[in-house]
Amino acid sequence: MGSETAPAATKPKNDSSVKPSKLSHGTLMCGDMKKSRQFYEEFLGLEVVRHAKPAMMFRLATGMHVVAVECSPDKLWDMHVLHHWGVDVATKEEVDEAHKKAHEQKDKYSIRKIVKPVMQHGVYSFYLQDLDKNWWEIQYAPNQHEECFERGDVMPM
Protein backbone atom coordinates (compact mmCIF):
# COMPACT_ATOMS: atom_id res chain seq x y z
CA MET A 1 0.00 0.00 0.00
CA GLY A 2 2.66 2.54 0.92
CA SER A 3 4.18 2.95 -2.55
CA GLU A 4 0.94 2.61 -4.55
CA THR A 5 -0.10 5.70 -6.42
CA ALA A 6 -3.64 6.47 -7.42
CA PRO A 7 -4.45 6.64 -11.12
CA ALA A 8 -5.52 9.92 -12.73
CA ALA A 9 -9.19 10.86 -12.57
CA THR A 10 -11.43 8.65 -14.62
CA LYS A 11 -12.69 10.57 -17.65
CA PRO A 12 -15.92 9.65 -19.43
CA LYS A 13 -15.12 6.75 -21.75
CA ASN A 14 -15.86 6.84 -25.45
CA ASP A 15 -16.37 3.09 -25.33
CA SER A 16 -18.85 3.15 -22.43
CA SER A 17 -22.21 1.41 -22.86
CA VAL A 18 -24.08 4.69 -22.46
CA LYS A 19 -22.91 7.71 -24.45
CA PRO A 20 -24.01 10.51 -22.07
CA SER A 21 -24.09 14.16 -23.09
CA LYS A 22 -24.67 15.42 -19.52
CA LEU A 23 -25.87 14.36 -16.09
CA SER A 24 -29.38 15.78 -16.37
CA HIS A 25 -31.48 15.04 -13.30
CA GLY A 26 -32.24 13.17 -10.13
CA THR A 27 -35.49 12.55 -8.26
CA LEU A 28 -36.85 12.77 -4.75
CA MET A 29 -40.26 12.35 -3.18
CA CYS A 30 -42.43 14.99 -1.53
CA GLY A 31 -45.63 14.60 0.46
CA ASP A 32 -47.12 18.07 -0.05
CA MET A 33 -46.08 19.76 -3.27
CA LYS A 34 -47.25 23.23 -2.21
CA LYS A 35 -45.34 23.17 1.11
CA SER A 36 -42.27 21.56 -0.47
CA ARG A 37 -42.20 24.19 -3.23
CA GLN A 38 -42.39 26.95 -0.63
CA PHE A 39 -39.36 25.42 1.16
CA TYR A 40 -37.38 25.03 -2.09
CA GLU A 41 -38.08 28.58 -3.28
CA GLU A 42 -38.27 30.63 -0.08
CA PHE A 43 -35.77 28.84 2.16
CA LEU A 44 -33.29 27.25 -0.26
CA GLY A 45 -33.62 29.89 -3.00
CA LEU A 46 -34.05 27.40 -5.84
CA GLU A 47 -35.81 27.96 -9.18
CA VAL A 48 -38.93 25.77 -9.32
CA VAL A 49 -41.37 24.89 -12.13
CA ARG A 50 -44.42 22.64 -12.00
CA HIS A 51 -44.11 20.55 -15.16
CA ALA A 52 -46.59 17.74 -14.47
CA LYS A 53 -49.59 17.03 -12.27
CA PRO A 54 -47.67 14.86 -9.78
CA ALA A 55 -44.26 16.57 -10.07
CA MET A 56 -42.18 19.72 -10.18
CA MET A 57 -38.53 20.42 -11.00
CA PHE A 58 -35.98 22.57 -9.23
CA ARG A 59 -32.48 23.72 -10.12
CA LEU A 60 -29.82 26.28 -9.38
CA ALA A 61 -27.01 27.49 -11.65
CA THR A 62 -26.40 24.18 -13.44
CA GLY A 63 -27.74 22.17 -16.33
CA MET A 64 -28.91 19.54 -13.86
CA HIS A 65 -32.30 19.59 -12.17
CA VAL A 66 -34.12 17.53 -9.55
CA VAL A 67 -37.66 16.25 -10.04
CA ALA A 68 -39.79 16.24 -6.88
CA VAL A 69 -42.56 13.66 -7.30
CA GLU A 70 -45.58 13.95 -5.01
CA CYS A 71 -46.69 10.84 -3.17
CA SER A 72 -48.75 10.05 -0.12
CA PRO A 73 -46.97 11.37 3.02
CA ASP A 74 -47.09 7.87 4.56
CA LYS A 75 -44.95 6.62 1.63
CA LEU A 76 -42.03 8.96 2.42
CA TRP A 77 -38.86 7.16 3.49
CA ASP A 78 -36.82 8.25 6.47
CA MET A 79 -33.60 9.09 4.63
CA HIS A 80 -30.14 8.74 6.18
CA VAL A 81 -28.11 11.96 6.45
CA LEU A 82 -25.45 10.48 4.16
CA HIS A 83 -28.11 10.48 1.42
CA HIS A 84 -28.44 14.23 1.03
CA TRP A 85 -28.54 17.13 -1.43
CA GLY A 86 -25.84 19.81 -1.27
CA VAL A 87 -26.33 23.56 -1.55
CA ASP A 88 -23.22 25.75 -1.64
CA VAL A 89 -23.02 29.27 -0.23
CA ALA A 90 -20.26 31.87 -0.65
CA THR A 91 -18.88 32.15 2.92
CA LYS A 92 -18.74 30.47 6.32
CA GLU A 93 -20.82 33.37 7.64
CA GLU A 94 -23.56 32.47 5.15
CA VAL A 95 -23.57 28.91 6.51
CA ASP A 96 -24.03 30.31 10.02
CA GLU A 97 -26.77 32.69 8.83
CA ALA A 98 -28.60 29.85 7.05
CA HIS A 99 -28.33 27.74 10.22
CA LYS A 100 -29.79 30.59 12.29
CA LYS A 101 -32.64 31.06 9.79
CA ALA A 102 -33.32 27.31 9.75
CA HIS A 103 -33.94 27.47 13.49
CA GLU A 104 -36.01 30.66 13.22
CA GLN A 105 -38.11 29.28 10.35
CA LYS A 106 -38.27 25.65 11.42
CA ASP A 107 -42.02 25.70 12.03
CA LYS A 108 -42.85 27.76 8.93
CA TYR A 109 -41.15 25.22 6.63
CA SER A 110 -41.80 22.11 8.78
CA ILE A 111 -38.07 21.41 9.07
CA ARG A 112 -37.70 18.18 11.04
CA LYS A 113 -34.06 18.24 12.20
CA ILE A 114 -31.15 20.69 12.16
CA VAL A 115 -27.56 19.66 12.90
CA LYS A 116 -24.94 22.08 14.25
CA PRO A 117 -22.46 23.55 11.72
CA VAL A 118 -19.03 21.90 11.75
CA MET A 119 -15.84 21.75 9.72
CA GLN A 120 -15.65 18.25 8.20
CA HIS A 121 -14.49 16.56 5.00
CA GLY A 122 -12.82 19.83 4.00
CA VAL A 123 -15.93 22.00 4.14
CA TYR A 124 -17.85 24.05 6.70
CA SER A 125 -21.47 22.94 6.73
CA PHE A 126 -24.60 21.85 8.52
CA TYR A 127 -27.38 19.43 7.66
CA LEU A 128 -31.14 19.79 7.93
CA GLN A 129 -33.96 17.37 7.26
CA ASP A 130 -36.93 18.84 5.40
CA LEU A 131 -40.65 18.11 5.75
CA ASP A 132 -40.33 15.24 3.26
CA LYS A 133 -37.51 13.53 5.23
CA ASN A 134 -34.87 14.58 2.67
CA TRP A 135 -31.53 15.79 4.03
CA TRP A 136 -29.80 18.97 2.80
CA GLU A 137 -26.21 20.04 3.43
CA ILE A 138 -25.69 23.81 3.38
CA GLN A 139 -21.96 24.22 2.86
CA TYR A 140 -19.08 26.57 2.23
CA ALA A 141 -16.69 24.62 0.01
CA PRO A 142 -14.61 27.03 -2.05
CA ASN A 143 -13.45 25.31 -5.24
CA GLN A 144 -13.79 21.87 -3.67
CA HIS A 145 -15.78 20.28 -6.47
CA GLU A 146 -13.56 21.29 -9.38
CA GLU A 147 -10.35 20.76 -7.41
CA CYS A 148 -11.34 17.16 -6.67
CA PHE A 149 -11.81 16.37 -10.35
CA GLU A 150 -8.69 18.30 -11.39
CA ARG A 151 -6.61 16.41 -8.79
CA GLY A 152 -8.04 13.03 -9.80
CA ASP A 153 -8.15 9.91 -7.65
CA VAL A 154 -6.15 10.25 -4.44
CA MET A 155 -6.90 6.72 -3.24
CA PRO A 156 -6.42 3.50 -5.20
CA MET A 157 -9.48 1.36 -5.80
pLDDT tens-digit map of 98-111: 999 999 999 999 99
**Same domain for 54 and 86:** no
What local confidence, expressed as pLDDT, does residue 10 receive?
Answer: 56
What CATH number does residue 106 fall under? 3.10.180.10
Note whether residue 13 is domain-resident. Answer: no
pLDDT digits (tens, 9 = 90+) for 26-74: 999 999 999 999 999 999 999 999 999 999 999 998 889 999 999 999 9
- pLDDT of amino acid 105: 98
Looking at residue 1, its pLDDT comes to 43
Is residue 89 located within the same domain as residue 64? no
Question: Does residue 10 lie in a domain region?
Answer: no
pLDDT of residue 2: 43
DSSP code at position 141: -
| Domain coverage including residue 45 | 24-70
63 in a structural domain: yes
